[in-house]
Structure formats: structure tokens, C-alpha cells
Copies of this chain bind each other. A is one copy, B any other.
Amino acid sequence: MPTVHFVKRLRYTEGVAKVDRRERERAEFREEVLAAARRIVLEEGFNALTMRKIADAIEYAPGTIYLYFESRDAIAFELCRAGFESFLAALLPVKAIANPVERLRELGRRYLRFGLENPETYRLIFMEDPKYASEAFQENAEADDSPGKQALALLVATFAELRERKLLDGDADPIALAETTWAAVHGVVSLKITFEHHPQTPSNELLELMTDTLVRGFLRTR
């Protein structure tokens, strides 16, 4: 009886290990596909993302990808989902900054840096047809813990803190102020991603000028 029990446990453990290895290899293949997909979107745009190009890039047959992803749409969705996650990860460190004004400035800088370093991801989640992005953003769900919503909440919380400390001029809604700031920084990033020669002002200079101007406009004291 104890022996049988032992054998059973051993087999069970082996089974788990085997499943683990398979899932790991499966995850590795999926990551290879996604990495290739990101390169293609970066170099040729989203509508050039085809199963065949991915297959060529990872040196597999087109059909093989369908064993790991249900469809092209599923790959696009996963790019968005992972995109929002790394976007949030790029912004989160600002939580360590105590001064809300300085936190605001650093949020802008990190936002810009993420957009310029990951233009393909940025375009996918913030500029393209929101068919895939809005689902990954959980735009329609009431849950507010999606990475996208957490990133926005970071900005709203900073303005709420500014208001609590009576630093804001006027009585504007923190959400409206956060969305204004978001739109302003998004404008800088998205123009740079779309156009090669405009704006001609370097992005970081443009962002600093934007942030300085907004902060001067928002705050009670100059």
C-alpha cells in the first residue's frame, strides 16, 4: 500500500514535470512568434503582419503556427495585451517619486521614452484600429485592474494628490486634468511616430516645453 502510494506520487510528479516542460516549450514557441510579429509590425506596419511572414521569420511552416495561436487576430490581441503590460511596467517606477509635480514630469518622460523605443507597440495599442486594443484595454469591462487602466489611474491619482494638497489652480476634475495631460503627451509621441520631419523640434525638447507649460498652467503658484 505505501509502495503503491509512493509509485503513484512518483508518477504524478513525473507527469507534472513533463507537463511543465511542454508548457515551457510551448510558451517559448509562442514568444518566438510574438517577437517575429513585433519585428514585422515595426518594419512594415500592422497590415503587413501575415501568418506567412511570421512563419518565414521563425523558419516554420505557416500551418504550424495554428497549433499555438488560434488565428492572426489572436496574435494581434496578444501583442496588445503584452504591450499594455510592458507599457505599465515602464511607467510604474514613478510611484517611488514623492513629489507629485516631479512624478508628473517623470511620467511624461517615461511615457515618451516607451513610445519612441517601442513605436510598433505604441502604434498598435494607441493609434491603430482599436479592434484588438480596446479588448486588451478592457475598455468596456467594469474591472479597473487591467494594465491600461492602471496606467491611467497612475496619472489620475497624481492629480488627485495635487488637488488634496491645494496646489491646483481652479477646481478642475482630476480625471479631466489627467486626460488633458495624457492627450498632450500622446500628441507628442504619436506625431513623432507618424511623421519623419514634423515636428522638427526634438521630441525631448518638445516634451519638456509641453510639460513646463502645462505645469505652469495647472499650478496655483508659479
Q: Which residues of A contact B (CB under 8 A)?
A: 45, 47, 126-130, 134, 139-140, 152, 169, 172-173, 175-177, 179-180, 182-188, 190-191, 194-201, 205-206, 209-210, 212-218
Q: Kindly provide the distance from the CB of A92 to the nearest chain B CB, expressed in whole angstroms.
A: 20
Residue of B nearest to A179 (CB): B199
Q: CB distance A184 to B182 under 8 Å? A: no
Which residues of B sit under 8 angstroms from A134, Cβ to Cβ? Answer: 195-197
Which residues of B sit under 8 angstroms from A190, Cβ to Cβ? Answer: 127, 186-187, 190
Q: Kindly provide the distance from the CB of A170 to the nearest chain B CB, expressed in whole angstroms.
A: 9
Q: Kindly provide the distance from the CB of A150 to the nearest chain B CB, expressed in whole angstroms.
A: 14
Q: Which of B130, B194, B195, B214 contacts A217 (CB 8 A)?
A: B214
Q: Which of B139, B201, B217 contacts A196 (CB 8 A)?
A: B139
Which residues of B sit under 8 angstroms from A200, Cβ to Cβ? Answer: 175, 179
For the complex, give the distance between the alpha carbons of A206 and B175 in Å. 10
Q: CB distance B201 to A191 under 8 Å? A: no
For the complex, give the distance between the alpha carbons of A198 and B140 in Å. 11
